[in-house]
Every structure is written in C-alpha cells, then in structure tokens.
C-alpha cells in the first residue's frame, strides 16, 4: 500500500506540473497575440528649398522597411484626397491642381524615362525640381502643381495622361522612392510658419514638424 501511494503521488505531481505548463503556454500565447508589433524608428532631415511658395524637403530613414499610408498636415489628411496648401492652411481635394493653391501628390513609374507634368498658367515641381519634365527611374515620384487651373501628368512610356484623382498610378501620399522601403524623400509647400506634419506608415507614426 505504501508503494502504491507513492506512485500515485508521483503521477499526481506530474499531472499538476503538466497542467501548469499548459496553462502558462496558453497565457503566453494570448499575451503575445495582443502585444502590438514593434514599431520602426525614424530619423528625419529637413531642408528649405526656398521659392514661392516655400518648399521644404524631408529625408526620412526608417529602421525597417515600411509602407507610407498617409500624410497629415494640420487638420487635413491625404487619406481624404490630394493635399493642397493655399498659402495659410492645408486641405484636401479630389483635384490634382487648383487655382490659388499648391497641390502635391505622387505618381508611380513602372519604367525609366521622362516624366512630364504640365500645368496651364501655373508652376510645376517633380521630385523637388521646378521643371515640367524629368527623367526618372521606376518607383514613386512626387509631383507638385501651384496655382494651376488645368494640369496633367504623363508617365514614362505612357500615351494617356493622368488628369484626375483617384486613378491608376496615383497616390495622395506625396513621396519619392520605393514602397515598402527604409528611405523616402518628400517635399511640402509651406509659408515658413509652424505647422503639424505627421507621416503615418505601417511601421508607426513619424512627426516631421
């Protein structure tokens, strides 16, 4: 009888240890599923390019490859349409250009070649260069129109221009580079005053200004 009780006690102890380990594993799995994913660490550099309106260039570096989702400028967001700056405040619109405002967005080139952006009565920037045509490589490229009533963008190798938003090869998030990537460039029109600029990506939130 004593031997039987000893064996029974040993078996019971093993069962308790097994149950405890199983419960610990279940709790750990539950916590790990609820834990937020690790966020990327961002490093930003900014430089004013001058001009009218003033254009500020931002160089963003991320610790891991990330995809940009939106740019929030003050109370406006690229999630609601193409961003514009009217000289004092930011807003969003379904138009690629507008009189009295500077719009900025990005287009995707699937091949290398000249990217053309033409505007009736307004100024044009491509990847921070004040020009209506620029030879670019594959990837996303930022286009900016200032005080233009009519505008269009023609991608390398394309015969049909982009004239409205939304559309294929268009993104309301203004940036230049690959996606996803660890490095991006973007240009923002401003008046030199303090504005809130927040870049939202799947790697986290990056406050530019």
- The pLDDT-based confidence of 137 (bands split at 50, 70, 90) is very high
Note whether 40 and 203 are within 8 A (CB): yes
Contact 188, 178 (CB under 8 A): no
**DSSP E strands: which ranges in 133-196?**
133-136, 139-146, 150-154, 170-171, 181-190
Query: For residue 184, what is the enclosing H or E element?
Result: strand 181-190
Indicate the average pLDDT of the chain: 86
CA distance 208 to 62: 13
Q: How far is the C-alpha of 187 from the C-alpha of 122, rounded, in Å?
A: 18
Residue 37: the pLDDT is: 53
pLDDT at 22 over 70: no
């Amino acid at each position: 009888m004593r031997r039987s009780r000893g064996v029974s006690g040993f078996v019971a102890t093993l069962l308790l240890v097994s149950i405890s380990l199983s419960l610990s594993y279940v709790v750990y799995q539950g916590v790990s599923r609820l834990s937020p994913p690790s966020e990327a660490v961002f490093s930003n550099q900014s430089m004013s390019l001058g001009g009218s309106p003033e254009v500020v260039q931002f160089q963003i570096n991320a610790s891991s490859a990330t995809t940009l989702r939106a740019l929030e400028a003050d109370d406006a967001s690229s999630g609601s349409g193409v961003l514009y700056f009217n000289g004092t405040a930011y807003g969003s619109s379904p138009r690629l250009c507008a009189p009295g405002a500077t719009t900025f967005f990005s287009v995707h080139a699937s091949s290398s070649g000249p990217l053309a952006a033409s505007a009736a009565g307004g100024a044009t920037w491509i990847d921070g260069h004040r020009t209506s045509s620029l030879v670019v490589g594959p990837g996303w490229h930022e286009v900016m129109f200032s005080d233009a009533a009519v505008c269009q963008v023609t991608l390398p190798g394309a015969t049909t221009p982009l004239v409205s938003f939304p559309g294929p090869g268009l993104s309301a998030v203004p940036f230049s580079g690959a996606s996803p990537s660890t490095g991006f460039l973007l240009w923002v029109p401003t008046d030199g005053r303090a504005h809130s600029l927040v870049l939202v990506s799947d790697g986290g939130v990056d406050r530019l200004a």
